[in-house]
Every structure is written in C-alpha cells, then in structure tokens.
Chains A and B, each alone.
Chain A
C-alpha cells in the first residue's frame, strides 16, 4: 500500500486525444471522448454502426460525424434560424417510444405524457424499413434561444434489434418548413440489410473505425511501440545502428507538401528548400493503384526517406529515418514496403 502511495497517477504525464467537434447535448458524448490511444486503432467504437443511405435535401449542410452520429446536418433559415438534424442508432436499452418521447418533451420543458396519450402524439410513417414512429413537439426551454430551439420532430424505427433515431431540433418555424424534407429523408433511408439504391451520405467517417490499410513488412524489420501520433512503427538494426520506420495518418490533407518536406529537412539539420526545387526532389512511386510521392534527403549525420499519399480523406506518411549508413541499406526494403501498400 505504501508503494502504491508513491506511484500516484496524479503525478504522471498523460497523453490522450479529443475531438474538436462540440459535444452533442442530446445524442452522444463520444465526440470528445479521450482515447488515451497509441494509434487510431484504439479509438473506442461506441456502438456497431448501421449503414444508412438516404436522399439528402440540397440545403442541408453535412457536419462532422461522431461515433454515434452516423449522419449530421445543419440547415439555416432567415434571421439566424438554425435546425440540427441527426441520425443515430442505439441498443435495445435506449428505451421504448414513450421513454424517448418524454425525454424529448423534457428537453423542450414540456411535461411528460402517459402511455395512454402516446397514440395521440405519435403518428406512424410507412417506409421501406417498416413503420416509423413520428413525433412533432414544440416548447421553449427556460432561457432557450428561439432561433435555435423550440421544436423537435423525431422519428424512431426498430432496425435489426437496434433503435434508430432521426431527429430535427431547432427554430420552430424553420423545423416546420423543413418537415417535408425531413420526412422524405426518413422515408428514403435504408437499414443495414437493405439494398443501397439511393445517394450515399457524402460525409466522411470522422471517428469511425481504424482506417483500412494493408502492407507487407520486409524481413528484418521488428514492430516497435506505437505512440499517440503513430499508426505503426518498425525498427531495423544494422551493426548496432537503428533505423526508425513510422507510419502516421491524419484526416484531411495533412498540410502542403512543401511544409512537410521542409519540416523533415529541419529535423535532419537541412535548410528549407526553395519552392522551385521541391518538385524536382519528389519522386513518384507506384503501389498498385496508389501513387506515392517520395523524397530522399540526407543531412550531416541523419537521412530521411519519406513517402506519402492521400486516400479517402486521409493522408498517410511513411518515413524511414536514421543514420546515413543504415538508411542506405534499408531504403530498398522501404520502397518495397511502400509498393506493398493496399487500401
């Protein structure tokens, strides 16, 4: 016990990642959950995702997704009016229709209804995925902003043992004006096992699952500990000298090629390259249908060989770093490693 006392967790440095997306007040907290992750693979999955396809009205603006929000939109009206539209699925413990209708009523500062009043509040919408319960409620929470709140139209569907929630909440007039679009969106949605026949949701998977990628690790490379920044790490040792091979991925484009190349140059003690010289430094490497840009740069003692590609809304950086001699020896393996990459 006394030893435990000497190793207090409040005296240790912690590293974790949080989403930049704001927490959703009504659906899910997962968006800013820390992962304490060593790689993107450690991002916790909140619940099995149900694929959804649906017809999206053109004035709905796609928003970043979270692990629970499988679709998220904002729609803007006049005078700053806003409505928030979301789709999420939860397990059977999400409660019955009455529980959820009362939860939404509470969010609009309305009293709960009894079970015998439910039939008068809920309408059934026949769709390809079966009857969906539709509820349309109004109310203004205390100190609520009427431009952003005042009405909820919700839809609740049973979907392969899970409960699917469609919800539009926002300015009362705007929600009313968008009700037809919302019901079309709900009607056109398809469940997990339905054939995909309509427009796919065009929003990228924000925090969904580990990005899918395959490669062949060359002989002689040993897996190394990943870090919060690294998707994968390897080392190779020759005559007591180690080369470090890292795979890093980020959502987005990962910055300009010039910035990245100059950052690596700085890391090995080289001055920034002129913009005109950058193109001549980059050599393309093909890996099936994937095209990598690569650079090979040597400083006084260290050398970097790096390759990068952008795929499906992410950028992937592969980097071989170490003393000149060992990098020279490992470079052919590194190029083969790049050529083995498949998404």
Chain B
C-alpha cells in the first residue's frame, strides 16, 4: 500500500497529469475572466484548492476541477518526492540537481507569494501624511469606539466575516452585529427617486432614505464593486449576556461618505464600510508630485513623488524620490509609483508586502546555473569524443 502510494507521488505520469491540468485550468481561467473579471477569476481558479460549481437554484457547491493551489502543491510534492527517490549524487548530475532545485524554489516561492503577499495602495495629495495603506479590493466594517478623548479603538471586521456570518460578536463590542442584507455590488438611489415600490433596508441614519439595488459583479480591470451591507445593532446585557432590544438597522456602504454614529452601553460609536487598512509603524508624507508630459501631447513622460519617510522607532527621517523603476523599499514593503489622479495633485503608490519576492530571482539563477553546468558538461564530453575520433 505504502509502496503504491510512493510510486504514485513519484511517478512521471502524475507530473504530466498535473501539467495538463494546469494548462486546462489556465485556459478555463482565462476564458472565465470575460464574465468574472480578472480578480474574481484569479480567486476562483488559481487561488483555490478546487474550482467549484454551484448547481442552479441549489444551496451547495460541487468541486469540479482541482484549483491552482492544489495543482501547484501536488506538483511541488511530486517534484520533491521524485527527485528524492531517484537522487544519486554524482558530479555529472550536478546540473540536473541544480535545475530541479531551482524549479522547487520557483514553485514554493509562487505558492508562498500567493498565500502571503499583500498588495495595497497609498493615495496622497500634496502635504498629506499617511501611516496606512488601503486594499484596493477588500473592504472592512470599521466599528470605532470614539468615547476616549485621545484614542479611538477600532474593531475592523473584514468583508469575508460580513459575507459568511449572520451574527457577529466580539469581546471588544458590547453589542451584536446582525447582517440583515449583504450586497457584494450595489447601486444606491434616494428613495424619492427610486419609485414607489422601493423600500429602505435600514431605519437609522441616511440609509433610511436610501434604496439599495443589487448589481452584477464588476469585471473590468479598473472597476470596483460598491459593497453595501445592512447591519442591525443589538446591545448585549452585561451580566447575563442576553440580547436587549435592537437599537436599529444601519446601511453601511462604500458609496456613503462620512461614518455614522450611535451610542450604546454608555459609549459613543462610529461605523463605516471602508477599504481594508494596513497600518505601518512609520509614516509617509507627500512633499511634491511631478507629472511631466511629452511636449505638445498628453502622453506621460515621467511622473514621480517626493516623499518624506518618518519612522520614530528607528529614528529615520529622510526624503525619497519614488519614480518608475525606482521604488522605495522599507521594512519589507515596496512602494512603487503606480499612478496619479487627473488633477495632477494626488499620487497613487502601490504598496507591496511580499516576504518571498526574492524567490523567483534565486530560482532563475539556480536554474540557469544548472542548465549551464548540464549543457557545459555534455559539450565538454562531446568535444573530447570528437577530438579523440579525429585523432
């Protein structure tokens, strides 16, 4: 039994099957981007263990094909296991060993990047200072206790929790949050303009005057979903932990501006649905954004951001110019000049945290070294044999 298993995970057939499955997955995922958009297709096809299919009108999903993570993991295990089983040290096989090691580093690095890399954006107008970047895709419900005159306590609830949980409780909150409606993408209309049939889904705050309409997922590269959620706030009785009468239902949405406020358990609270934030132990201030165009055209020639980086923990206070191909690397994060607003006053920096960014470089060097050694060995051997034959 064990032997059969070892034979299976070390077999070349498994490698071929994985490579064929990867090709089919890439083809299907690429086609799916037409309807799902690039980010949703990436998540469903490549950043998952399985590709799931929900039968029409059913509440369950069926796995119909291995996802990118599963294929990559099996391929990685197969490569390591096959190499370990057939490993036989000899100088003449050094090139093959190096090439395989490079492939293993590349596969493992790819998987780690997929799991742990975080991309976000920092948007700065002239003079602005930020110590957080914002996720361009993920949202969070920020529940902020504003009672303290100096410090706000923020309980950040990610959209994944909002999507999957009907009732949310947390030790930092003296109330339950009950998700009444969840719209991944939506359009908001004032009730007065939405027709007589429209009804609000909230009874507190501006949401009481707003009708929410579900919208299909945004699929364009630059399009974003407008997420909207109706949440009911239900205070919890301190001594017994039982629910008290609800305070009401609020609409929180990416399309609404200012946070909404309420009081509960003698404390003041704010709620807002906003892009997920990643705070940093340092700050970045935009001193100047420069956008140059080719003369007589609107074609960008160069755009750059002069920023001041201040890190109190490390006593760092310095100015840096960020421009194309000259990112700022600091504390494991890389700030790229990604874009700008039309007013030429606001710069958009892409902030990438990728603990394994070095893996592809190492993998390429190791693979290249392996191929050089392998071909070099055969070239020398061939050359020797030819010389001998001629002699």
Contacts and interface: CB of A to CB of B under 8 A. Distances in A.
Interface residues of B, number: 64
Contact of A95 (B149, B239, B281, B318): B318
B158 interface: yes
Given A1-B73, A90-B315, A11 B131 contact: no
Contact of B172 (A109, A229, A259): A229
A18 B154 CA distance: 7
Contacts of A299: 239
Contacts of A251: 148-151
Contact of B238 (A26, A93, A268): A268
A233 to B, nearest CB: 11
Contacts of B317: 90, 94-95, 100, 103
B126 A143 contact: yes
B161 A103 contact: no
B266 A260 contact: yes
A339 to B, nearest CB: 26
Contacts of B168: 13
B36 interface: no
A29 B129 contact: yes
A170 to B, nearest CB: 13
A44 interface: yes
B325 interface: no
A19 B172 CA distance: 17
B163 to A, nearest CB: 10
Nearest to A145: B127
Interface in B314-345: 314-319, 345
B239 A268 contact: yes
A79 interface: no
Contacts of A207: 150-151
A4 B128 CA distance: 36
B153 interface: yes
A335 B161 CA distance: 43
A94 B316 CA distance: 6
Contacts of B147: 250, 255
Contact of B115 (A5, A34, A109, A268): A5
Contacts of A301: 239-240
Contacts of A2: 49, 69, 73
A29 B283 contact: yes
Contacts of B226: none
Interface residues of A, number: 71
A144 B345 CA distance: 12
Nearest to B309: A29
B73 A13 contact: no
B282 interface: yes
A67 interface: yes
Contacts of B308: 25-26, 103, 107
Interface in B268-295: 276, 279-285, 287-288
B306 to A, nearest CB: 7
B160 A18 contact: no
A65 to B, nearest CB: 10
Given A19-B150, A20-B152, A23-B283, A13 B158 contact: yes
Contact of B266 (A64, A109, A263): A263
Nearest to B235: A266
A44 B49 CA distance: 39
Interface in A59-93: 64, 67-68, 90-93
Nearest to B131: A29
A29 B280 CA distance: 9
B195 interface: no
B288 to A, nearest CB: 7
B111 interface: yes
B171 interface: yes
Given A13-B157, A64-B150, A252-B148, A106 B237 contact: no
A27 interface: yes
Interface of A: 1-2, 4-5, 8, 10-21, 23-30, 32-34, 44, 46-47, 64, 67-68, 90-95, 99-100, 103, 106-107, 109, 141-144, 206-207, 227-229, 250-252, 255, 259-260, 262-263, 266-269, 299, 301-302, 321
22 contacts: A2-B69, A10-B276, A12-B158, A12-B161, A13-B156, A14-B155, A16-B279, A19-B150, A29-B283, A30-B312, A46-B312, A47-B312, A92-B315, A93-B314, A103-B318, A103-B319, A206-B150, A228-B172, A229-B172, A251-B148, A299-B239, A321-B239
